[in-house]
């Protein structure tokens, strides 16, 4: 115990000065001009909106897309004729027929991999350690997925490519003189190759490498858009789309090989002959439901352009395609919050930590919906300004009223997509019947309303179906959540 004199000596000893941040005496916030003020403000904003590392990388990519998408749209309007614009966007809708062959396996792989990751940990060598059973099951999942996608890639070349040739030949005017055949063949071929890389990205995301995959996506988007812009500036026309896809594929494969080549080699070399994993009893019951939902999604999201192309020509289809591109970009940016939580959701479900799951989900839903509403308001204001000034670019978009209907539909879809993400992380698909019914209704309304009412009829029918879908889907969400977590 110290004596009284020792205590006095300690009290009188001069202490080293404590370095503190310059602060405002009233608010205690870093003083103006201090770099730490900006850092503290950024931290506050990030905490408020729930931005973690994975979301930050995803938002950087989305932020780049926010810059790239308008520039791409401007270049398309500048260097492609209205008819060519219709071909450009309808190419994307027809190539989306790949979903009939993929059958929703990408999402299924992510969910199943996340459940195995709950028993594994990443090492510094970028391999997994932990339960041997989980590693064997993951290896079996990867091998079967690669076989599935190899068959799907071949079928794209045998079915989708010829189907596109027939469709565009029958619905294009001979006087248009648009060179579309070679770009279409190139695009379909690259899309088939892209299918082979899809399971690799899905497995990595399911194993928790969400921010790393997001950073790869940034590189893909940077190089892909640069290739697309250069092609348009060089008057490459419809070759811009194939160049974009080819650059994306090359960069993605290079990143996977250099960063995670050892990880995949170990999985592919694993002996899975006696693995406790059964595709048809474990994966297929979940996959076929996801597949039906995704196929229904084609009739909900991808049928507009081909139907308008066939009934009203490539110009109207191009307007719808560009308007949908804007809405899709907004939806993609807002869904970044929820998509980056797919793997954490799966881990929390596997560990049955329901309170943490609900807390994370509802906080993420509020944050992402706020982003979408603000973004939609900004886009509406910009479009209104272009229309009021009769800018030539405004003619490449739909009229304001049908465009507004598409934006409202996007908001409704966002809520439903978030609820679906939550439900599917339980490795089940309770929205199957809803997806089928809404897909049939949307496809029917598109086919019935397109010819007599054009884009306005298609947009109005779409909004009605989205409203019914959200009401029904929310009811399923509440009932299933209550039953599963009881």
User: Is the pLDDT score of 229 beyond 90?
Assistant: yes
Q: What is the mean pLDDT of residues 239-257?
A: 93
How far, in Å, are 49, 88, 333, 470 from residue 375 at the CA level?
A: 15, 25, 9, 21
Reported as half-sphere exposure (CB side, CA atoms, 13 A), residue 277 has a value of 23
- pLDDT in the model for residue 26: 39
CB–CB of 423/107 below 8 Å? no
Query: Is residue 334 one of the residues assigned to a domain?
Result: yes
- pLDDT in the model for residue 231: 95
Query: Is residue 209 one of the residues assigned to a domain?
Result: yes
- pLDDT in the model for residue 9: 42
Domain of 328?
A: 52-472
What is the C-alpha to C-alpha distance for residues 50 and 57, in angstroms, rounded to an integer? 13
What is the C-alpha to C-alpha distance for residues 322 and 319, in angstroms, rounded to an integer? 5
Other beta carbons within 10 angstroms of residue 20's beta carbon come to 6
User: Is the pLDDT score of 284 beyond 50?
Assistant: yes
Q: What is the mean pLDDT of residues 117-139?
A: 85
- Write the CB contacts of 49 (distance below 8 Å, at least 6 apart in sequence): 367, 370, 371
DSSP bridge partners of 120: 130
User: Where does the pLDDT of residue 273 fall: very low under 50, low under 70, confident under 90, or very high at 90 and above?
Assistant: confident
Question: Mean of the per-residue pLDDT values for the chain?
Answer: 82
Which has more confidence, 17 or 185?
A: 185
- Tokens encoding 228: 């697309």
Query: Is residue 35 one of the residues assigned to a domain?
Result: no
| Torsion of Cα atoms, 198 then 199 then 203 then 208, to 10° | 10
* Chain position carrying tokens 């995301």: 205
DSSP state of 29: S
- pLDDT in the model for residue 1: 42
Q: What is the mean pLDDT of residues 210-225?
A: 86
User: Is the pLDDT score of 150 beyond 90?
Assistant: yes
Query: Is residue 85 one of the residues assigned to a domain?
Result: yes
User: Where does the pLDDT of residue 211 fall: very low under 50, low under 70, confident under 90, or very high at 90 and above?
Assistant: confident
- pLDDT in the model for residue 177: 73
Query: Is residue 483 one of the residues assigned to a domain?
Result: no
Query: Is residue 259 one of the residues assigned to a domain?
Result: yes
Q: What is the mean pLDDT of residues 461-481?
A: 94
What is the C-alpha to C-alpha distance for residues 432 and 259, in angstroms, rounded to an integer? 37
- pLDDT in the model for residue 91: 92
- pLDDT in the model for residue 333: 80
* pLDDT tens column, 359-377: 999 999 999 999 899 989 9
CB–CB of 320/458 below 8 Å? yes
Helices (H) and strands (E) in the chain, counts: 18, 2
Query: Is residue 280 one of the residues assigned to a domain?
Result: yes
Query: Is residue 40 one of the residues assigned to a domain?
Result: no
| Count of domains forming the chain | 1
Give the predicted TM-score (pTM) of the model. 0.68
Burial class (CB in 10 A: 0-12, 13-18, 19+), 354: middle
Among residues 62, 51, 77, 85, which one has the least CA distance to residue 329? 62
* pLDDT tens column, 376-421: 998 888 888 887 887 777 788 888 899 999 999 999 999 999 999 8
* pLDDT tens column, 7-52: 444 344 343 443 434 444 433 444 445 555 555 665 665 555 555 5
């Amino acid at each position: 115990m110290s004596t009284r004199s020792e205590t006095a000596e300690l009290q009188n000893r001069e202490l080293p000065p404590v370095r503190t941040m310059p602060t405002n005496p009233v608010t205690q916030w870093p003083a103006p001009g201090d770099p730490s003020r900006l850092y503290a403000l950024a931290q506050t904003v990030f905490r408020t909106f729930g931005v973690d590392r994975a979301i930050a990388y995803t938002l950087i990519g989305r932020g780049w897309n926010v810059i790239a998408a308008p520039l791409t749209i401007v270049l398309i309007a500048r260097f492609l004729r209205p008819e060519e614009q219709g071909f450009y966007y309808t190419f994307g809708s027809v190539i989306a027929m790949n979903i009939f062959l993929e059958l929703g396996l990408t999402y299924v792989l992510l969910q199943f991999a996340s459940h195995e990751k709950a028993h594994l940990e990443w090492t510094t060598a970028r391999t997994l350690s932990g339960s041997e059973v989980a590693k064997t099951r993951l290896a079996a999942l990867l091998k079967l997925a690669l076989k599935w996608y190899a068959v799907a890639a071949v079928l794209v070349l045998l079915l989708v490519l010829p189907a596109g040739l027939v469709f565009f030949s029958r619905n294009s005017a001979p006087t248009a003189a648009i060179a579309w055949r070679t770009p279409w063949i190139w695009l379909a071929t690259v899309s088939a190759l892209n299918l082979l890389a899809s399971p690799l990205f899905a497995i990595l995301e399911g194993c928790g490498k969400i921010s790393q995959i997001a950073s790869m996506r940034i590189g893909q988007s940077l190089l892909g858009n640069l290739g697309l812009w250069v092609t348009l500036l060089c008057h490459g026309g419809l070759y811009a789309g194939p160049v974009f896809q080819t650059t994306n594929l090359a960069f993605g494969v290079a990143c996977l090989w250099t960063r995670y080549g050892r990880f995949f080699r170990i999985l592919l070399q694993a002996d899975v002959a006696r693995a406790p994993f059964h595709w048809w009893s474990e994966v297929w019951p979940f996959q076929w439901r996801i597949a039906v939902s995704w196929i229904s999604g084609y009739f909900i999201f991808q049928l507009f352009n081909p139907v308008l192309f066939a009934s009203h020509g490539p110009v109207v289809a191009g307007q719808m395609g560009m308007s949908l591109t804007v809405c899709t970009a907004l939806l993609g940016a807002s869904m970044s919050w929820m998509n980056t939580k797919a793997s954490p959701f799966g881990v929390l479900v596997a560990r049955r930590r329901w309170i943490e799951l609900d807390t994370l989900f509802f906080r993420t839903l509020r944050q992402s919906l706020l982003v979408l509403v603000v973004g939609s308001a900004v886009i509406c204001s910009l479009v209104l300004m272009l229309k009021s000034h009769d800018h030539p670019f405004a003619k490449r978009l739909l009229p304001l009223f049908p465009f507004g209907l598409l934006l409202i539909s996007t908001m409704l879809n966002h809520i439903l997509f978030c609820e679906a993400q939550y439900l599917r992380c339980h490795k089940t698909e309770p929205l199957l019947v809803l997806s089928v019914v809404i897909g049939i209704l949307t496809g029917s309304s598109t086919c019935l309303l397109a010819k007599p009412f054009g884009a306005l009829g298609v947009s109005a029918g779409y909004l009605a179906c989205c409203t019914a879908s959200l009401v029904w889907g929310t009811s399923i969400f509440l009932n299933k959540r209550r039953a599963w977590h009881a």
